Structure 1
């Protein structure tokens, strides 16, 4: 009978792998607490890392925490554990987003397919570089759709006309930021320029901005805005970007956590398939624009994320907070 000891090093490794997940502006809005006697890891939202301007309802915060939760599940299976997960386990405590009991394989069956995704946890990157115009094969698209479905979400590859609509929504969001400077406060707070980029443990450092776009239609957010970034080059981006919509039937905290898990599963599968990826939440940060992002023919109730996929350079690793800052053991 297999029995995995849950010492501090094992738990620290699990949380370190969980926190490689993407989050809006790399704010890393999560905290973990391990209750050793119960073999229980608790995932909480970190309100100090919320974004009142860009994410007033904490939708993106939940998605980021959901992505970290999925990584935790993958890491647990790789460590020969069974992550028995409950979302929002205590209605009286809405900041407690999930509980994960780290059971032995003798107690419950493992989702063994998660083991295969483990190498991609450290390999996944957000790439804000140009991708090629090469199409994504249908068998790869089918794998990604199945990955989303396994986590109760829907992944849609929109047709050309709807891609153009999404690109227009991105441009509308960019224009709104220029007109209403206060809407850009969260971006300014979570970007790291100059010497700060070299020592940052969170946020988006200048070396991860990618080149400035000279032409093309790829929806890549320019985190520098009008601020100068010495040494940053420029490049032409793809004119026919490959976009995917990740959606859910409902639009509440549970749906957002499920969307985050689906997002990370899709990103890890994409990484294993040799795809580069970036995320576009810009047109979803305004309620009016978010409603327009939905494809009325698809049946996707609520768009939770726009993904850009393609073949191109991998982005650099972005900084992560020390595990000691996000994990308590008691």
Structure 2
């Protein structure tokens, strides 16, 4: 196979695909550095975009960066490069999360490249899903996808789903009792036409979705008590289809692997015609996060709650220009 050219346009395209990844409140907590000599892309955490009230350990920040890393790998494979990836390559620099060396193409990247059409199509959907069960064969494929990246995806039974929904309500109660927790949401939401239409990060009001009038789906209301013009309300599903993404451990490397597993699952789900959403609310309170785990499962730590189903794919949220997140050397 002919080695493709790695010019400035190609590098820009790779990073643009990487930044299409989801992150908590669309804070986009990543920076990239391209080293042209060794053909290596380095991924750094952008701690200025951390959330001290709801993510003090920066676990969610690392999940978002892991998702961006997976998108980078997919984009590289699609462009004809083999993404040789090393997590946490320099113990003296904790902000350097990964290094991706772009080597001559080999066949092992074939399955990654197949996911590329979903990179720009995947959006978080804050809309109701249809009362249609996800087929077992798709569930199995999603579990296999998570396992490919060292993650564990499980579909909880009815009692566990009810427990998770109760934990979501408890998390909402914590927000009420501790107004400081809303500061992170306020910082990363864009309300009003002027802010929403020009935003390059955060969640603009047009992506909030309708208010939940009824139903049990765990849908976070990013507006809070702030009025949103022309925003309606609707009924969400009574029996939401949830999945838990976990890892055996619960350290920085596990978080980065979880982010990659999460994005692999989301991209495959998108290709399978599913709408997807992420629910981190009960995971933002340590005592509630511990309760999300099924005590009968072998999952070590729950990293994300996914909501899957058939419905609108969701509204895209803005991304920062590549020049703001990429340095070239």
**The TM-score by the shorter chain falls in which range?**
over 0.9
In structure 2, what is the equivalent of residue 226 of structure 1? 225
Hey, what's the Cα distance between the residues in 2 that align with 1:143 and 1:235?
32
Hey, what's the Cα distance between the residues in 2 that align with 1:169 and 1:110?
41
Hey, what's the Cα distance between the residues in 2 that align with 1:328 and 1:70?
19
Q: Secondary structure at the match of 2:261?
A: helix
Hey, what's the Cα distance between the residues in 1 that align with 2:274 and 2:297?
24
In structure 2, what is the equivalent of residue 34 of structure 1? 34
State the 1:109 CA deviation: 4.4
- Equivalences for 1:15-30 in 2 at 5 Å? 15-30=15-30
Aligned length: 328
Hey, what's the Cα distance between the residues in 2 that align with 1:144 and 1:253?
23
Hey, what's the Cα distance between the residues in 2 that align with 1:166 and 1:76?
37
In structure 1, what is the equivalent of residue 212 of structure 2? 213
Q: Secondary structure at the match of 2:2?
A: coil
- Could you give the per-residue CA deviations for residues 53-76 of structure 1, whole angstroms, max 9, x where no partner exists? 110011000000000000000000
State the 1:5 CA deviation: 1.9
- Equivalences for 1:1-330 in 2 at 5 Å? 2-105=2-105, 108-194=106-192, 195-330=194-329
Hey, what's the Cα distance between the residues in 2 that align with 1:308 and 1:253?
24
- Could you give the per-residue CA deviations for residues 134-177 of structure 1, whole angstroms, max 9, x where no partner exists? 11100000010000000001000000000000000000000110
State the 1:314 CA deviation: 1.5
Hey, what's the Cα distance between the residues in 2 that align with 1:169 and 1:123?
30
Runs of 4+ residues over 3 Å off in structure 1: none
Unaligned runs of 5+ in 1: none
- Could you give the per-residue CA deviations for residues 37-96 of structure 1, whole angstroms, max 9, x where no partner exists? 110100000010000111001100000000000000000000000000000000110000
- Could you give the per-residue CA deviations for residues 214-265 of structure 1, whole angstroms, max 9, x where no partner exists? 1100000000000000100000000000000000000000000000000000
Q: Secondary structure at the match of 1:70?
A: helix
Query: Structure 2 length normalisation: TM-score?
Result: 0.99
State the 1:297 CA deviation: 1.0
* Alignment RMSD: 0.7
Unaligned runs of 5+ in 2: none
Query: Given that residues 200 and 319 in structure 1 are in contact (C-alpha distance below 8 angstroms), is that contact kept between their aligned partners in structure 2?
Result: yes
